[in-house]
Structure 1
Amino acid sequence: MRKLPLGRKAAHLTADKKRPQGRQVMWEAIRAIRTFTIQDLEIKTNITQGTLRTYVMGLQRAGYLDRQEPERKNNRYGPVRWTLINDVGVEAPRVTRDGRHVTQGRGREQLWRTMRIIGQFTFHELAVQASTEELVVAPGEANFYCQYLHRAGYLVCMEKGGPNKAARYRLLKTRYTGPQAPQIQRVRQVWDPNTEQVVWTPEGQTDE
């Protein structure tokens, strides 16, 4: 197992710089512009209009954006504009096209935030502290996430685990890279959306 240099990205993640994807890119542009058209967002993000329109419609239906009907001038209608009316912070809202909130991935976001607050923890303690009435984090999910963040160097092991004893971890202050939770991708590598870098891959897997 090995960590990757923080200044280096996997080739498959840097191959196409012309069309960045993801709700976070769109949300950051919306927060920066505040009032915008789809064309404004396309210029700002270089993301396709179809992708932008789907996310914008979802945000509007979920109550984050207000739609302003186009003005008519010289028998022509201008573009539709939207205004951000519910700025919930840096993390992009996860919504479907019809405005429903997506819960997938929220558990790890809650784990990541909680790690920074509670100091030392076992995965059992972390799961309890990270759970809310709306979303309960399973101990198995917390254990899985802790193992990978430890491998990637975010967590330091304070006490080793053993039979009937869970390991204790602590989040290194120097490895808190931002509010977005590091992601464990399908190929079991760790991707940090705050730095936009792959920070760990399994032994034998290259970043080329």
Structure 2
Amino acid sequence: MMKRTPSNAQGKRNAAGLWEELRRRIGELVTVADLHLATGMDRSAIRDRLNAWNAGGYIAVQRPLPPVPNIGCKYSMTKDFGPLAPRVRKDGSQVLLGQGQQRMWVVMRILKSFSATELAVTASTPEHQIADASAKDYCRKLYKAGYLRLGENGRYLLLPSANTGPRAPQVQRSKKVWDVNLQRTMEVRNVTAGA
């Protein structure tokens, strides 16, 4: 017999959907069971993610004292950290992989027109510098995936129709581009882009 997914949980079965649900219920105490019903995620995956976010200081947890059998913890988001689910390890430390692409995507959405060098400089922070070569490569991949158009003087333009949301398109090892916002792989054209 197949498990039935709650009808309101379609499209929410990941960390982004779980984070969205917590933000929707900010200030409320919720259980793993509540979040399972709302998202359709596996209960152990929910528990693992909540514990990691708690370790990172993103959410609070209330444990019953003394421990009572069959009575679980209650979780709450007391402060809104924004629409993007924090990427953390089990110990709560941040995952840095992909943050450069995320910062470049944010800058692209703000500037709309930019050179790869301008993108690298603007998206860099004192702790994490983005190399020109990384910015050029990311721009080329997004150009081939149809997010960018090449304008005058080697400037890239973010196409309004390609501004799919706050999460950066992810260039995968297979050289495909995964759009987290649309939850799909984008078609990559075989074209050359100058940079």
Alignment partner for residue 32 of structure 1, among 24, 40, 56? 24
Query: For residues 1-208 of structure 1, what are the structure 2 equivalents within 5 Å?
Result: 22-34=14-26, 35-70=29-64, 78-159=71-152, 167-201=154-188
**Structure 1 residue 37: Cα displacement:** 1.0
Deviations 1:107-147 (A, max 9, x none): 11100010122242221111001111232112121111100
Q: Which amino acid aligns with 1:137?
A: I
Deviations 1:78-101 (A, max 9, x none): 221011023211111011111101
Aligned partners of 2:148, 2:69: CA distance in 1, in Å? 58
Secondary structure of 1:201's match?
Answer: coil
Secondary structure of 1:109's match?
Answer: helix
**Structure 1 residue 186: Cα displacement:** 2.4
> Structure 1: where are the runs of 5+ without partners?
1-16, 161-166, 204-208
Secondary structure of 1:79's match?
Answer: coil
Kept in 2, the 8 Å contact 1:31–1:84? The answer is yes
**Structure 1 residue 21: Cα displacement:** 5.1
Kept in 1, the 8 Å contact 2:146–2:188? The answer is no
Aligned partners of 2:69, 2:112: CA distance in 1, in Å? 60
Aligned partners of 1:189, 1:143: CA distance in 2, in Å? 16
**Structure 1 residue 179: Cα displacement:** 0.7
> Structure 2: where are the runs of 5+ without partners?
1-8, 191-195
TM-score (norm: length of structure 2): 0.82
Higher RCO by CA contacts (8 Å cutoff, separation 6 or greater): 1
Deviations 1:65-84 (A, max 9, x none): 11112277xx7562210110
Q: Which amino acid aligns with 1:69?
A: R
Q: Which amino acid aligns with 1:138?
A: A
State the aligned residue count.
180
TM-score (norm: length of structure 1): 0.77
Q: CA RMSD in A?
A: 2.5
Question: Could you tell me which residue of structure 1 aligns to residue 4 of structure 2?
Answer: none
Kept in 1, the 8 Å contact 2:144–2:189? The answer is no
Kept in 2, the 8 Å contact 1:71–1:78? The answer is no
